[in-house]
Amino acid sequence: MKAEPVKDEDESKGRRLKGGDAQKLTMAEVAKYVGVSAMTVSRAFRQDASVSEETRKRIMEAVDALGYVLDLSAGSLSSRRSGFIAALVPSINNSNFSDTARGITDALENTGLQLLLGYTDYSAEKEEKLIEAMLRRRPEGIILTGGSHTDRARRMLDKAGIPVVETWEIPEEPINHVVGFSNSEAMSLLVRTLASQGYRRFGYIGGTTARDTRGSQRRSGFLKTVEELGLGPGRAISFGVPPITMEQGGQAVMSLLERWPDTEVVLCVSDLSAFGAIMECKRRGMRVPRDIAIAGFGDYEISSICHPSITTINVDCYGIGRQAAVRLLDALQAGGEATGDEITLTGYRVVLRESTDRGAR
Amino acid sequence: MKAEPVKDEDESKGRRLKGGDAQKLTMAEVAKYVGVSAMTVSRAFRQDASVSEETRKRIMEAVDALGYVLDLSAGSLSSRRSGFIAALVPSINNSNFSDTARGITDALENTGLQLLLGYTDYSAEKEEKLIEAMLRRRPEGIILTGGSHTDRARRMLDKAGIPVVETWEIPEEPINHVVGFSNSEAMSLLVRTLASQGYRRFGYIGGTTARDTRGSQRRSGFLKTVEELGLGPGRAISFGVPPITMEQGGQAVMSLLERWPDTEVVLCVSDLSAFGAIMECKRRGMRVPRDIAIAGFGDYEISSICHPSITTINVDCYGIGRQAAVRLLDALQAGGEATGDEITLTGYRVVLRESTDRGAR
DNA sequence: CTTCAAATTGTTATCGATATCATCCTGCCC
DNA sequence: GGGCAGGATGATATCGATAACAATTTGAAG
């Protein structure tokens, strides 16, 4: 029984050029086509529901033939499960955070959950707006970057009654779950490692304001440790609005060296600014690490490739995302069973490379 | 009239720790609280709807007091407008594409539309799956990267009856709207520009398979142009599965130079591989551009900072995203009024930098 | 003081799926 | 053969908002 080709003479002008004829195709119509109830079609779309193999096959053939696409917005209303997970990162142009986003997406694969991604541009106000926008979609869980949020954001999150995971740092007052590490201690470790290699006069480059909380934690970790080692006071330059760019890294290292010409090693808030600093030094004829040693933070791809390769702190960006998603999934699985609000510490390690190589001096 | 603090003695154990009491807060309850109908509350949430200023103010105060958050999944069902725009990019870790994503997001700001972002990992199969997943959310429009899609994907898109924008290249058979440029011609321009500076023996580095259609277009543009200039045959190395990494760029340039030691200039499918190539050359003691000139494609941030800075093709990544979103908004505005399926060409330009500087040779 | 149009608000039906419970059927066991 | 478990399917109410239309109020013009 084939459908007869219909001559639609009068349909050609005022209409859209697209195959919009199926726009209102609904589950009920698929059901009618197959000769079952809509409920059975609905069940056929889920693997666990009990539908005989034969019925499911017929339904799926019809779905294929008609070109039906499930409508989740209708489904989520009645099932009261949106199928969304929301995640907010400061920036998607930063490969550290896009790695985290990738980790989340990958962990969500085959769970039937979809990621709603937003970027806050390092602003708590924008984060607040985004949280509200996200909550309007009734996500089943939400992943945030960092632990500093506006009061209203905290209230909204609390009221939403969904699991929250804060990532990339250890907030003083966690909302719920945490997957991250101490940026301050990580930077401290880097300082101590370099100090143990004989470096004494430490400089630091980072952004100015407090917008980037991870950045300021790294800075305070630096200052504290330099002090503790009796090498203080630390020589810290603030340059530009976070996130500090490669170019600003170059400018910053120059003003640092102008102010403290005998600096031996410069630590940067991220590999990106470290890269900018190194390139600027080379451009000016300085040798790295012979004349000045430079280290970064984050272990971006660039740092192992760059010549000289850049000493840095490796952070498990992808793993942070992946684990954050897994914790969320666990919490959802547990349902209301109040899983303990645990803190999952993720690893980091110093990666020593050419840019701080003592032997090359 | 303040709410009295309630002592909930028996609530402390079996329950979630979170403030889940408001989970079932609905528009009707806000309406009852204020003393209006749910419809009026609904109207108050939209700026254009006619509600007296005073009523809106009272409603918004109640919304604030109760902590009500609009439920868009319910709204989109009845209004038949999901408020979503879907966009698929090959990778979010690539700053070119994340710039495009940013362009889309920015253009969508204050339109009430939200971005559903997915990454295809350069795979048409994954794209097909993602398109289906996206269409289940009934997006009002969809932005794709490139013009090669599976048949089923094309059918689904056609049937969906929503505007489609293909970006980043000029497909032979566009589905609908296009915002992009000819990767082949852009690469051709780079070849001609360098040839006019006196370069004669051209090499090319790119990925192997046809997964990255933009990559293969650049390659064919390279080969064709070298041929046309009488400088053929082009020396092209295929290395690794696209997207080719920085590290692979370094390996590729070495095998290229091993095979054709007298190559004067190497063009790379992207700045990332060009960077890897340059760094590997420097590591081996070769001077760039004195011993070998290298150029990239895409004008990533790294290329202007790197020493030597990298000659490349600047592409308006952000603008591609922005314009794609604008075209979509136009199409939505026009409604069924079949706006012409136009091709919007975005600009590109050669950026000559140190890595191909003839004077330095 | 009418009258009518515009502004404001309310009522009801509906969007398209799923939860829930009811029903039907099959086959197995005693 | 009766009874019953359990798998497969159907009927109906419902999720929470908005569309569409009705009703009411307000104000200005005549």
Q: Locate tokens 């046309």: which residue?
A: B228
pLDDT of residue B16: 39
Q: How confident is the model at residue A340 (pLDDT cuts 50, 70, 90)?
A: low
Q: Which CATH architecture has domain B82-181+318-347?
A: 3-Layer(aba) Sandwich (3.40)
pLDDT of residue A345 exceeding 90, the answer is yes
Instruction: At A246, list the tokens.
Output: 């490669």
Chain-wide mean pLDDT for chain A?
Answer: 90
Q: How confident is the model at residue A191 (pLDDT cuts 50, 70, 90)?
A: very high
| B360/A contact by beta carbon, under 8 A | no
pLDDT of residue A5 exceeding 70, the answer is no
Q: Locate tokens 């064919």: which residue?
A: B220
| A13/B contact by beta carbon, under 8 A | no
| B105/A contact by beta carbon, under 8 A | yes
Q: How far apart are CA B247 and CA B275, in angstroms?
A: 9
pLDDT of residue A336: 58
Q: How confident is the model at residue A207 (pLDDT cuts 50, 70, 90)?
A: confident
| B133/A contact by beta carbon, under 8 A | yes
pLDDT of residue A40 exceeding 90, the answer is yes
Contact B212, B272 (CB under 8 A): no
Q: How far apart are CA A124 and CA A148, in angstroms?
A: 7
Interface of A with B in 264-323 (CB under 8 A): 275-276, 279, 282-283, 301-302, 304-307
Q: Which residues pair with A350 in a beta bridge?
A: A313
Q: Locate tokens 């997915």: which residue?
A: B118
Residue A319 beta carbon within 7 A of nucleic strand C: no
Cβ neighbors of A12 (< 8 A, separation 6 or more) are none
Domain topology for A183-315+350-360: Rossmann fold (3.40.50)
CATH no., domain A23-70: 1.10.260.40
The domain locations on chain A are 23-70, 80-181+318-346, 183-315+350-360
Interface of B with A in 35-94 (CB under 8 A): 67, 69-74, 76-77, 82, 92-93
CATH homologous superfamily of A80-181+318-346: Response regulator (3.40.50.2300)
Residue type, A95: S
Chain A interface disruption, residue of B69, B125, B272, most A CBs within 10 A: B69
pLDDT tens per residue across span A53-65? 899 999 999 999 9
pLDDT of residue B136: 97
pLDDT of residue A49: 74
Indicate the SS3 state at residue B317: helix
pLDDT of residue A72: 96
Instruction: At B297, list the tokens.
Output: 């494609």
Strand spans (E) along B188-242? 202-206, 235-238
pLDDT, greater one: A232 or B272 = B272
Between chains, do A67 and B114 touch, taking CB under 8 Å as contact? no
Between chains, do B161 and A23 touch, taking CB under 8 Å as contact? yes
- Chain A residue numbers with beta carbons less than 8 Å from the beta carbon of B307 are 279, 282-283
* A86 CA → D15 C1’, Å: 22
Question: Cis link prior to B289 (omega < 30° from 0)?
Answer: yes
- Chain A residue numbers with beta carbons less than 8 Å from the beta carbon of B137 are 72-73, 114
Q: Do domains A23-70 and A80-181+318-346 have the same CATH topology?
A: no
Residue B60 vs residues A356, B40, B112: alpha-carbon distances, Å: 58, 11, 18
Question: What is the arithmetic mean of pLDDT over A302-321?
Answer: 97
Residue A295 vs residues A204, A273, A292, B308: alpha-carbon distances, Å: 10, 9, 10, 20
Domain topology for B24-70: 434 Repressor (Amino-terminal Domain) (1.10.260)
pLDDT tens per residue across span A134-153? 999 999 999 999 999 999 99
Residue A246 beta carbon within 7 A of nucleic strand D: no
- 10 Å CB burial of residue A153 (0-12, 13-18, 19+) is buried
pLDDT of residue A361: 57
Question: What is the arithmetic mean of pLDDT over A235-256?
Answer: 93
Domain topology for B183-314+350-360: Rossmann fold (3.40.50)
A18 phi, psi to nearest 5 deg: -90, 165
What does each of the 361 residues of chain B score in pLDDT, given as a tens digit? 333 343 333 333 333 334 444 458 999 999 999 999 999 999 999 877 778 888 999 999 999 999 999 999 999 999 999 999 999 999 999 999 999 999 999 999 999 999 999 999 999 999 999 999 999 999 999 999 999 999 999 999 999 999 999 999 999 999 999 999 999 999 999 999 999 999 999 999 998 777 889 999 999 999 999 999 999 788 999 888 888 999 999 999 999 999 999 999 999 999 999 999 999 999 999 999 999 999 999 999 999 999 999 999 999 999 999 999 999 999 998 765 556 678 999 999 999 999 999 876 5
Contact A107, A329 (CB under 8 A): yes
Q: How far apart are CA A232 and CA A140, in angstroms?
A: 48
